[in-house]
Every structure is written in C-alpha cells, then in structure tokens.
Amino acid sequence: MIEQILINTIHKAIKELYGQEIPCNIAQVQKTREEFEGDYTIVVFPLLKTSKKGVEQTAEELGKYMVANLIEVTGYNIIKGFLNLSISNVYWLDFFNENVGKSNFGSHNQKDTDPVVVEFSSPNTNKPLHLGHIRNNLIGWSVAEILNNNGQKVARVNLVNDRGIHICKSMVAWQKWGNNNNPENSNIKGDRLVGDYYVLFDKKNKEEITSLMADGFTKDEASNSTSLMLESKQMLKDWEDGIEEVRELWKKMNNWVYKGMDATYARMGISFDKVYYESETYLLGKKLVEEGLRSGVFFQKDDGSVWCDLSEDGLDEKLLIRADGTSVYMTQDIGTAQLRYDDYHPSELIYVVGNEQNYHFDVLKLILKKLGKSWADHIRHLNYGMVELPFGKMKSREGTVVDADDLIDEMYLTAKKTSEELGKFDDFSNDEATELFNMLSMGALKYFILKVDPKKTMVFNPVESIDFNGNTGPFIQYTHARIRSIIRKSNQLKINYNLKFNIDYKFERKEISLLKLLHNYPEITKQAAYSHSPALIANYAYELAKEYNQYYHEVVILKEVDENKRNFRILLSEFTGNNIKSSMALLGIQVPERM
RNA sequence: GGUCCAGUAGCUCAGUUGGAUAGAGCAGCAGCCUUCUAAGCUGCGGGUCACAGGUUCGAGUCCUGUCUGGAUCACCA
C-alpha cells in the first residue's frame, strides 16, 4: 500500500536529513483534501522538533527527498505546513491492472485460527420480532459476513429464549381465553398469535392489580399476588419439573412461534449455522452453579436461593437460582457459554445484544472468571444502541412497537409503488418484478439501519417511510444496475474491452478519484472487521456509488471514440460495479442487474 | 442516588491514531432528459460541533466540571 511506503520513506528521510530516528506514530500520512493539488499529505508540524528547522524549509527538504527517492511520487507542493504529494499515474494504473479482474478484491486470506462465534437475534418465543430485533439481526449477519471476508472462520448461532416466566404468561392466557385458537383456524401468523396472548395477559393482570390495590394492597404486594402471576409462577415450576401437560402446551405454542419467525428470517435473508435453545442449556447452567456453590464461589441464603457476591468487584450480589429452585436468565447464559465453548473452542465469542444489557455481560464475564473459565476473556459483547421512535422508546404496552413483518410489508409496497411511478419495469415478468421489489425494499431497510454506527442510538420515524433517493440502499443498487446496463450494451456491441490500453493513458479527474476509492477498499474491509462496524462498509459503498454517478455524468463511456479511453472506462465501470456488489453483500444486501 | 453511554445544519446521520475553510442525504429554492437508466447530476441557502474551563503549534475529536437526554443498578429477559 502506498500509505505505508510513504511513511517508511519519511522515516528514512528524517534519518538521512536530520540524523535522527522518530517514533513510529509521528509520521502522519493522510489523503489530500479535494481542494488542494496532490494525492497524499504529510503533516509537517510534528517533525519540526526533529528537524530543528522552519516549517517551510522542513517541508521543502522532505518534498525533494520524496520525489528523488520514490518513483511513485511525481511532485509536491507546500501549503501552511502541509506537504502535498502527487502520485504517478503509473501507480494507479498498476493498481488497476493488478486488481480489475479479481473476484476476491477486498477480501483477505483465510487464517488458520479457531472460529469466531457470532450470536445474534436471540428472540423470545412469547412475541414476534420487532424493529429492535431487525437491527440486531442485520448487525449480526453483517458482522459475520465482514469477519468471514476478513479471513476468519465464522459460526452464526442463535440462542432462542424458549422458556421462562414470560413464556408461561402467554401459555396461561391462551389456556384461559384461547378457545383453542391456533394459527390455522384463526389465520394469524403463529408468532403474532402467541404475542397477542402475552399482551392479553398483561392487560388482564393489570386489571387484577388495580382491583387488589382498591382492596388496600400496596402496588408491590398487588403485583406479586395476582392470581395470574401465581398461576404463571406455578406453571414455570411445573415446566421445570417436567409436568407433561405443561410441556405439551409449551411445545405446541413454541412451534407456532418458530414457524412464524422462520418466515420472517427468510424474508430478511438470515439463517444460522446452529440454533441453541435455552430449554436445552439451562440445566447445564444450573449444574455449573451448583458446582460453584459446592466450591464456595457462590453462596446460599436461608430461603434456598443461590447468589454470587460481586461486591469486591464494585457490583451487587447477583441471583443465580431462585428460592423455588427455578433458574434465571444468568443461569442459562452460563450454561450456554460453556456449551458453546465446548462446541467451537472459539477464538472469540461475540454476543450481539443491545447496550441495555451491558451490566448483564459484565456480570456474566465476572462470574465465568470466578468459576475458573479462562476463556471468559474471549467473550465480547457487541452492544448496539436502541432504535427509538421520534417520540421516544418503543413500548409494547402502549402499542408503539414497530412489528418486523409489518415494516417489511410496508417497505415492499413502497418499493412497488415507487417503481410503478417511475414506470420502468414494463418488460419485467411478475416473478422478476417481485424479486426486484424484494431486493429494493430490503435494500432500503437494511442500508437505512446499517449505515448508522452500531454503538449509537438511532431514530426511526415510521410515519415518513424510508427514502429511496439520496444516501439510501436503492441509490447504490441503482448505480450498480446502471453499470450493468453499460456492460450489457458493450457486450451487445461486441466490444472487446479486455484489451491492453496504453501506459500513457491520461486520466480524467474523476477516474483518479474512483481509483483512489477502489484502492482504499481492502483497508476499509479490514477496519470494519476490526471495529465490528457495518457502518464503515455502508458509508464506503455510498461514497463509491456517488463518485461513480458523477463520473457517469461527466464522461461518455460507450460512445467515446478513442478506443483506448473507451475500453478503460468500461473496465473501470465494471470494477466499480463489482466492488459495489461485494461491499453491499457484506451488508447482506443484494444488487439488481436492472431496475 | 451510583455506574455507563450519548449531545454535530430544521430532520436523519458521517467526521480515521488530535491536522488545512466541520461534511453527506432529506426537507426548501433554482437549473439539467433529441447522447450510455433523471431512483441520477449541477448550483444556492442552512452551524456558538450542548455549555464553561484546560492540555498544545493545532481540539468536533483528549482531560475536568456543568446542563440535557437515554440505559442500567429485578427472585424480568
């Protein structure tokens, strides 16, 4: 890479000119800003202490040295302590020739290491997926793609939270008021049907609390002693005791949910290498907790509940097993972590879970360490920010949750309507049109979410539907379709553009900008992997598409009379198109040949 | 109250290990389709980077304090 060559040469220059070594972080090379002449810029200020000369003179001496010692550097200019270097056309041309046909440009070689396990999605089986899950799924999937592209083996795993008090609530409500409704006879998607009973439970339970409080109970007393809550708790106990009737009901309702969720996953284009179920891991968790209790890592209170004392670590006591013997979230997470370690021996264990659970993961890591699990250090909580609505957080009780299926439906209709208004899919068959609308609607949704830094809270306005113009997925998809159109035409015209073009090719301004962006791609993919950030890829893809559209308007491609120029432009277009396609693939977004 | 995270244009977001005059898109206004896809391109307006100090050649970026918003501190997950 040219940046590294420049940095190394600066070090050599300083040594030869001023007879001193400088620390490795002092020499800074950055891209020259658009408004100045040159390609890369050396900031001279930090070097003055070493050179013991004025800014201008130091810059001048360095500039001369760079030109004299690097064939890649053809010239320089100095503005206010910034040394701008111009890179030779030959360098860009060599880069182009070497990489233009590579199908794996921007991906990195497979390293022989243990796999990275990426856990994401992690739904509960008591309600359908919503917008928050969508962000989780998209980030998880994309990060897995990015790591894989970076040469790491990746296992995508899902942990389904299929047991617990919340599931029992849906079950209790269905038993009481379900009238034997099921997805078939009610024609309601299974995950939604179960979710409806969860909401119903909450409603009825609230009514009961209100009436208890009217009878003089405090709010806490009332919340803990409603008949509905007691029934749910009993059901959880029965479930853990393996009462067959309860298990049957549980299986039945969970299967409704799975079928519904699978449909949603399929629409999002998401799948897993392995699915873990809490119902299958919590016992291992319990076992580990009991071992910890025996070895004195944990302690038991008089009521029988088991705790971990984290006060030495500046945290509170943490409950691990309830007084009635049932397990909590933390219990099963300990088991799942162990199971996953046994299954994969991962080099890194990434949990894609919202930042509201930061505390939970701090505690999980601490507890695992206390249990003597050295691999606890391999756990990394990829904590992403909440998705908020313009008027605040989504709240299921207030009916402001944006349902995943509804949102996807809406996006599809918007894609269809927009396409119809533009009226350019007349020769598409029904199947082709459907495929295109799916691609565009999911592209718009995925890009909208992934372009935002995962760490940050983001705002989604369900009233203004997601845009299809500007900094959007469809804009990038459109650019790809445009490029493919040129390639198709060049094939029709039987242009053999894979010819050698002359080395003295004189680049257009925008051609250099495009080459620089393309040149930067491998570095971007590395950074994205290192920082687990799809947003870097999304922003890159947008920059590239924008640059290409400007280029497209500035120059003619197929109608260029100079064969040499024309061939280069076609190839550059194809290179750009391939790069758009592969970067979008890292986001889990497909791009169309035509739109 | 303790801990953690955030605050950049009317709105949604970028802004690399501190570097030049803080950038995009949307929304608004004005232009560009007899030429390769107008889901595009060009131009205009829009900023006390929450506030106040500090560190230094240089701070949106680092440090301290204040304000505002959010998360969390459950025998929920």
Would the Cβ of A124 be found within 7 angstroms of any atom in strand B? yes
Q: For residues A268 and A90, which has the higher predicted lDDT (pLDDT)?
A: A268
pLDDT per residue over A425-483, tens digit each? Answer: 778 899 999 999 999 999 999 999 999 999 999 999 988 888 999 999 999 999 999 99
Mean pLDDT of A279-293: 94
Would the Cβ of A278 be found within 7 angstroms of any atom in strand B? yes
What's the distance, Cα to Cα, between the start and end of chain A in Å? 36
Determine the pLDDT at residue A318: 94
Q: What is the mean pLDDT of chain A?
A: 92
Task: Name the percent of chain A lying above pLDDT 70.
Answer: 98
Would the Cβ of A61 be found within 7 angstroms of any atom in strand B? no
Please spell the DSSP secondary structure of A100-134, one letter per residue: TT-TTTT--PPP-SPPEEEE----BTTS--BHHHH
Angstrom distance, A391 CA to B70 C1'? 13
Give residues 386-405 of chain A lying near strand B (Cβ < 7 A): 386, 390, 392-393
Reply yes or no on whether the pLDDT at A533 is more than 70.
yes
Angstrom distance, A316 CA to B60 C1'? 37
* Contact yes or no for A328/A359 (Cβ under 8 A): no
Give residues 168-227 of chain A lying near strand B (Cβ < 7 A): none
As for the ipTM of the complex, it is 0.96
Structure-block tokens of residue A342 = 């046994």
pLDDT per residue over A364-401, tens digit each? Answer: 999 999 999 999 999 999 999 999 998 888 877 677 88
- Which nucleotide is closest to A124, CA to C1'? B77
Judging by beta carbons within 10 Å of its beta carbon (0-12, 13-18, 19+), is residue A554 exposed, middle or buried?
Answer: exposed
DSSP alpha helices (H): ranges in A466-533?
473-492, 509-531
Angstrom distance, A579 CA to B36 C1'? 20
Determine the pLDDT at residue A472: 96
Angstrom distance, A286 CA to B40 C1'? 60
pLDDT per residue over A157-180, tens digit each? Answer: 999 999 988 999 999 999 999 999
Angstrom distance, A556 CA to B31 C1'? 22
Would the Cβ of A136 be found within 7 angstroms of any atom in strand B? no
Angstrom distance, A245 CA to B5 C1'? 46
Domains located in chain A, CATH noted: 2-87 (3.30.1360.70), 120-388 (3.40.50.620), 404-585 (1.10.730.10)
pLDDT per residue over A83-100, tens digit each? Answer: 999 999 989 988 999 999
Q: pLDDT band at A282, cuts 50/70/90?
A: very high
Closest CA to A268 of A158, A420, A418: A158
Determine the pLDDT at residue A288: 96
Reply yes or no on whether the pLDDT at A503 is more than 80.
no
pLDDT per residue over A30-80, tens digit each? Answer: 999 888 889 999 999 989 888 888 889 999 999 999 999 999 999 999 998
Strand order in the sheet with A299-300: A299-300, A306-309, A317-321
Reply yes or no on whether the pLDDT at A496 is more than 80.
no
Reply yes or no on whether the pLDDT at A501 is more than 70.
no
Would the Cβ of A82 be found within 7 angstroms of any atom in strand B? yes
C-alpha span between A144 and A526 (Å, rounded): 13
Angstrom distance, A331 CA to B67 C1'? 41
Locus of tokens 């309702």:
A253
pLDDT per residue over A315-369, tens digit each? Answer: 889 999 999 898 889 999 999 999 999 999 999 999 999 999 999 999 999 999 9
Strand B footprint nucleotides (protein C-beta < 7 Å): 4-6, 11-17, 19-21, 24-27, 35-42, 57-58, 70-77
Reply yes or no on whether the pLDDT at A502 is more than 70.
no
Angstrom distance, A531 CA to B62 C1'? 20
Q: For residues A356 and A111, which has the higher predicted lDDT (pLDDT)?
A: A356
Task: Measure CA to C1' and name the residue nearest B69.
Answer: A392
Determine the pLDDT at residue A313: 85
C-alpha span between A456 and A122 (Å, rounded): 20
Angstrom distance, A491 CA to B30 C1'? 40
